[in-house]
Structure 1
Amino acid sequence: MTSTVPELSAVADRVRIAPDDEAVRAQDETISYGELWERAGRVVHQLETLGASRATTIGVHLERSIDLIVAIVGLLRADCVAVPLDVAYPAERLRFMCADAGVRLVIGHHQPLERLGGFTPVTHDGKLVYAVNESVPSTSTEDDLAYLVYTSGSTGRPKGVRYAHRNLTNLITWQSESSSCGAGDRTLQFSPASFDVIYQEVLTTLREGGTVVCCTEDERLDPQLLWDLIERERINRIFVPFVMIQSLALFADAVTLARHPLREILTSGEQVQCTGPIRAMFARMPGCRLINQWGTTETHVATWYRLPADVSSWVDLPPIGTPIRGTQVRVCDEDGRPVPDGTTGELWITGSAVGPGYLELPERTARSYRTDPLDPDSPAYRTGDLGRVRPDGLLEFLGRQDTQVKVRGFRIELGEIESVLNSDPAVAQAVVAVAGTAAEERHLRAFVVPKDAGQDNGQLPDRLLTTLRHSVPAYMVPTGIEVVPSLPRTASGKIDRLALTTAGGAA
């Protein structure tokens, strides 16, 4: 249970070579590589004592902290499957995830653990608390899984996405080799624990011999505080959603070469738009490069594009670039056949980036996880994203095929929100749409048709918003709900979401 998995082999080497180097920093606390490895080893021991074995699913319910990094490394060393349980998620969603993944044992902080229900603390190590739900049988998955993350589901049921050690090893090795950062450099830990980017932040940095610097939640949400942290802690690399780059640009007037140490800003999750403020910010940081990455939760990063150092040469909508190592992207027609360069089609990701599929959803897995249309021995994932190959050979992203959307960096299935709304007895029909065009303006709006149009439905929106806040993460709660007599439809009879969001009351 304590053999080193491939994605940790370089970290183990760092522990042997430079055990006293700083590995993780959070506020005023730091730990060295040797301390990180020792504390992660204690996690392995506790898991063994509590009956966990290889491939056992283990919940991680920790706030951003050194403890969180220790738990991530400890679970990888134990070869257990991490199931991140975001402390900001509603209790109902967390309980579903635990039940769906067969989580019997959770590592957490004491106060957040109280929200899970059914879990009893059995031991602790410092602030790390180990809690067990005796009513859940111990569950193991296939041996190769590193983690299991949940993403929004079109049927109202969140999907557990499996990601294997081989996928993670390929990603981390590629990211380290393609980055300008290395030993002694400092990377911000910005991503919530429930998003796969945290593995990219943490494991890439530790593999390189750098320092992971954890921000507070206030710093994560406030661009001015984040700039202060970047300067104070001498951060060299950040992985942030595009909307945060937009926000940072609005507070970048005082940024100078002398004050900032950034060399890389990496973003994924939404179409990058090279606005005037963003161009101005990078013009003041000639030593820092903007890197656009594209992929899905099912594949993590699949392509990348490093924008030119000359900001004046940037196009408004940069491409998503070229595939990472061991990975290919096919542009296919509706039947899964590759189309000629320059033709729009669905983007299929193939090769080393493709994970093993969804947890206990064989039909959905069979629809989305296929084989490479040019190599039947290689796995493929149908993304539902549209794109094409430009004349220069770079891939261009052209939007979504379906109702899965990206808002402020979060991937959202509108159907999951609609399912909650439609379950209310006072609602005849509900639809959720995205309003706003620029990334910083995009937001969710909901429209409901009441079952009884004759009664006073004035309190219905507030009641539905309260229900949503208890059912889905905050980023999935619409900014407003409008009661409408009917929903507009297209000529084919489908709901016209564009008409909803362009109507006067939906802006």
Structure 2
Amino acid sequence: MAQVTVVAELEAVANQVSQRPDAVAVTFQGETISYRELWERAGRVADHARSLGATTAGVHLERSIDLVVAVVGLLRAECAAVPLDVGYPVERLRFMCADAGVRVAIGHEAPLARLGGFSAVARDGLMVWAVDESVPAQETEAELAYVVYTSGSTGRPKGVRYAHHNLANLIAWQSDTSSCGAGDRTLQFAPSSFDIIYQEVLTTLGEGGTVVCCTEDERLDPQELWDLIESERVNRIFVPFVMIQSLALFVEDVSPATHPLREILTAGEQVQASDRIRALFTRLPDCRLVNQWGTTESHVSTSYELPADVSSWDDLPSIGAPIRDTRVLVCDDDGRPVPDGEIGELWVAGAAVGPGYLGLPERTAQSYVPDPQHPGEPAYRTGDLGRVRSDGLLEFLGRQDTQVKVRGFRIELGEIETVLNSDPAVAQAVVSVAGATAEERYLRAYVVPKALADDDLPAALLATLRERLPAYMVPTGIEVVASLPRTASGKIDRLALRSV
């Protein structure tokens, strides 16, 4: 196969196409495509994008092999993808299209019809290319790989730009540090709107592995997910920590022989090494838990592989050390790095830092600032608090703008949640702060029971908390709920807890 010039993050994939063209690249519900077929179909996506003059394209595809093909194809075309999650409300999707100037979209027919405004101009199998003629054609930065929308503090979603060189650095680092390789199988779990999809797809294909797609039902149901891991012989998953907690509830039939997982990678939420989480990894001694930290603006910035000996785990594990060509600084309010051991805001610098927000120059200037150690380079102020531990690893201490301080005491909510989640009667637990003013602030816990809860469960849990924690860390009440609200990416929606 002729050598093809491709963007840096696809070079390893192109090499695999040359070396193992007939190997299975992607599978979904019994359908498989080879590396050769993937590359050919992605090439047709790239050709369509170029013929339509698209420098930005909306991606409105349901979970499928088509979605993986589109991810690769738009990168081949050097056309920035704007993921339009089919599960999002139409109003939000239309805002995103207008904000990003999406004139061209690739999608499945039913979602595109619901979105409205787009007229089909070409088809490739079940994929439809559509154009919104009311949107003028426009140029996009050549370096832009994708634009992912994240919730804004003002209620206005923000388009976060990420460049090819940012993505190439991440994928090369992930491939080099992973225990998976050629022939191994990785679950495509993340929604299209979540940047982790690039990590799942490009790392796996660059290693010569197989991307295993799942249905939305399999993604949301931990028992179905375990069944899929078993039937598809999945070796690696990238999942939010809340899903690891859910998986840990259904481990009775899990073993290395039936579930050949070697890596579970998580990001976006603080890992809590409860007894149940330790029990899960005790049942899977060949599987490692990898705690990654970053923001949408910097994707993955740090990583920490927890030791094989689960008894040595901290209750709230470290977020580790920066990835390749990336620096993480702990800074005071004036942007000056603080000594090791002191708490400050985590700033990210180096190859992980993207070019900023789309169409929001003032917000970009506030968050993307000169690196205090290398003033000619940008750093991203994450708003997360942390410190460097005595062993040189980074410790995550929560959000700066939601810093938990109750009655003068600084409190780490994860420590309380770890105790609650270790109780055998609890499936999931979250602690939040209520009260409008500093004087009125108090802690409240929300608990999803493992089985039908009796009326005594809140009192029993409070008694356990009083035995293990200082009085100021014990919530004033525990509310038993059927489920916890989630964001689109699967994380706990802590803001929505106020209305539970």
TM-score by length of 1: 0.82
Q: Which moved more, 1:2-11 or 1:232-241?
A: 2-11
**Aligned-partner SS, 1:299:** coil
Once the 2 structures are TM-superposed, how far is the Cα of residue 120 of structure 1 from its aligned partner? 1.1
Contact 1:488–1:499 (8 Å) recurs in 2: no
Contact 2:184–2:235 (8 Å) recurs in 1: yes
Pairing of 1:260-275 with structure 2 (within 5 A)? 260-275=259-274
Pairing of 1:193-208 with structure 2 (within 5 A)? 193-208=192-207
Aligned pair partner of 1:38 in 9, 29, 40: 40
2:470 corresponds to which residue?
none
Q: Which moved more, 1:90-99 or 1:245-254?
A: 245-254
Pairing of 1:382-401 with structure 2 (within 5 A)? 382-401=381-400
- Shift of the 255–84 alpha-carbon distance from structure 1 to 2, 3 Å rule, reads same
What residue identity is the alignment partner of 1:5? Answer: V
What residue identity is the alignment partner of 1:319? Answer: S
What residue identity is the alignment partner of 1:158? Answer: P
What residue identity is the alignment partner of 1:9? Answer: E
1:489 corresponds to which residue?
437
Runs of 4+ in structure 1 deviating by more than 3 angstroms, as ranges, are 436-440, 442-445, 495-507
Once the 2 structures are TM-superposed, how far is the Cα of residue 443 of structure 1 from its aligned partner? 8.4
C-alpha distance in structure 2 between counterparts of 1:403 and 1:142, whole Å: 34
Contact 1:187–1:235 (8 Å) recurs in 2: yes
2:19 corresponds to which residue?
17
2:429 corresponds to which residue?
441
What residue identity is the alignment partner of 2:366? Answer: R
C-alpha distance in structure 1 between counterparts of 2:318 and 2:386, whole Å: 10
Post-superposition Cα deviations, 1:351-386, rounded to whole Å, max 9, x if no partner, equal 000000000101100010012111113321000000
- Shift of the 229–404 alpha-carbon distance from structure 1 to 2, 3 Å rule, reads farther
Contact 1:22–1:30 (8 Å) recurs in 2: yes
Once the 2 structures are TM-superposed, how far is the Cα of residue 256 of structure 1 from its aligned partner? 1.4
Once the 2 structures are TM-superposed, how far is the Cα of residue 498 of structure 1 from its aligned partner? 5.3
Post-superposition Cα deviations, 1:35-73, rounded to whole Å, max 9, x if no partner, equal 000001111121222232xxx110000011100000010
Post-superposition Cα deviations, 1:92-130, rounded to whole Å, max 9, x if no partner, equal 000000000000011000001112121111221100001
Pairing of 1:243-392 with structure 2 (within 5 A)? 243-392=242-391
- Shift of the 76–346 alpha-carbon distance from structure 1 to 2, 3 Å rule, reads same
1:92 corresponds to which residue?
91
C-alpha distance in structure 1 between counterparts of 2:352 and 2:38, whole Å: 28
Is residue 138 of structure 1 aligned with residue 106 of structure 2?
no
Once the 2 structures are TM-superposed, how far is the Cα of residue 81 of structure 1 from its aligned partner? 0.3
2:80 corresponds to which residue?
81
Once the 2 structures are TM-superposed, how far is the Cα of residue 200 of structure 1 from its aligned partner? 0.2
2:450 corresponds to which residue?
none
Contact 1:113–1:119 (8 Å) recurs in 2: yes
Contact 2:432–2:445 (8 Å) recurs in 1: no
What residue identity is the alignment partner of 1:137? Answer: P
Is residue 223 of structure 1 aligned with residue 222 of structure 2?
yes
C-alpha distance in structure 2 between counterparts of 1:444 and 1:92, whole Å: 29
Is residue 102 of structure 1 aligned with residue 101 of structure 2?
yes
Post-superposition Cα deviations, 1:238-277, rounded to whole Å, max 9, x if no partner, equal 0000011001111012111211110000000111001111
What residue identity is the alignment partner of 1:24? Answer: V
**Aligned-partner SS, 1:20:** coil
Contact 2:385–2:399 (8 Å) recurs in 1: yes
- Shift of the 38–443 alpha-carbon distance from structure 1 to 2, 3 Å rule, reads farther
What residue identity is the alignment partner of 2:181? Answer: G
C-alpha distance in structure 1 between counterparts of 2:92 and 2:65, whole Å: 25
Is residue 214 of structure 1 aligned with residue 213 of structure 2?
yes
Structure 2: stretches of 5+ with no match in the other structure: 405-413, 422-427, 447-474, 480-497
C-alpha distance in structure 1 between counterparts of 2:7 and 2:29, whole Å: 30
Once the 2 structures are TM-superposed, how far is the Cα of residue 403 of structure 1 from its aligned partner? 4.5
Contact 1:488–1:500 (8 Å) recurs in 2: no
**Aligned-partner SS, 2:376:** strand
C-alpha distance in structure 1 between counterparts of 2:300 and 2:200, whole Å: 12
**Aligned-partner SS, 2:264:** strand
Contact 2:431–2:443 (8 Å) recurs in 1: no
- Shift of the 133–341 alpha-carbon distance from structure 1 to 2, 3 Å rule, reads same
Aligned pairs, number: 432
What residue identity is the alignment partner of 1:317? Answer: L
1:429 corresponds to which residue?
none
Structure 1: stretches of 5+ with no match in the other structure: 406-433, 448-486
Pairing of 1:178-193 with structure 2 (within 5 A)? 178-193=177-192
2:50 corresponds to which residue?
48
- Shift of the 503–94 alpha-carbon distance from structure 1 to 2, 3 Å rule, reads farther
Post-superposition Cα deviations, 1:9-44, rounded to whole Å, max 9, x if no partner, equal 111111111110100001110000000000011111
**Aligned-partner SS, 1:272:** coil
1:477 corresponds to which residue?
none
Once the 2 structures are TM-superposed, how far is the Cα of residue 500 of structure 1 from its aligned partner? 11
C-alpha distance in structure 1 between counterparts of 2:325 and 2:231, whole Å: 38
- Shift of the 222–499 alpha-carbon distance from structure 1 to 2, 3 Å rule, reads closer
C-alpha distance in structure 2 between counterparts of 1:48 and 1:327, whole Å: 33
C-alpha distance in structure 2 between counterparts of 1:335 and 1:352, whole Å: 23
Post-superposition Cα deviations, 1:336-362, rounded to whole Å, max 9, x if no partner, equal 000000000000011000000000101
C-alpha distance in structure 2 between counterparts of 1:173 and 1:197, whole Å: 14
1:153 corresponds to which residue?
152
- Shift of the 224–499 alpha-carbon distance from structure 1 to 2, 3 Å rule, reads closer
C-alpha distance in structure 2 between counterparts of 1:380 and 1:497, whole Å: 35
What residue identity is the alignment partner of 2:430? Answer: R
C-alpha distance in structure 1 between counterparts of 2:165 and 2:38, whole Å: 23
Post-superposition Cα deviations, 1:259-317, rounded to whole Å, max 9, x if no partner, equal 11100000001110011111111111111000000000000000000000111111111
- Shift of the 30–262 alpha-carbon distance from structure 1 to 2, 3 Å rule, reads same
Post-superposition Cα deviations, 1:139-167, rounded to whole Å, max 9, x if no partner, equal 22211000000000011110000000000
C-alpha distance in structure 1 between counterparts of 2:30 and 2:152, whole Å: 39
C-alpha distance in structure 2 between counterparts of 1:4 and 1:488, whole Å: 53
C-alpha distance in structure 2 between counterparts of 1:204 and 1:253, whole Å: 31
C-alpha distance in structure 1 between counterparts of 2:215 and 2:444, whole Å: 40
TM-score by length of 2: 0.83
**Aligned-partner SS, 1:40:** helix
Instruction: Give the alignment's Cα RMSD to 1 decimal.
Output: 2.3
**Aligned-partner SS, 1:301:** coil
Once the 2 structures are TM-superposed, how far is the Cα of residue 8 of structure 1 from its aligned partner? 0.4
Contact 2:442–2:476 (8 Å) recurs in 1: no
C-alpha distance in structure 2 between counterparts of 1:145 and 1:347, whole Å: 25
Contact 2:431–2:445 (8 Å) recurs in 1: no
Identity in percent: 70
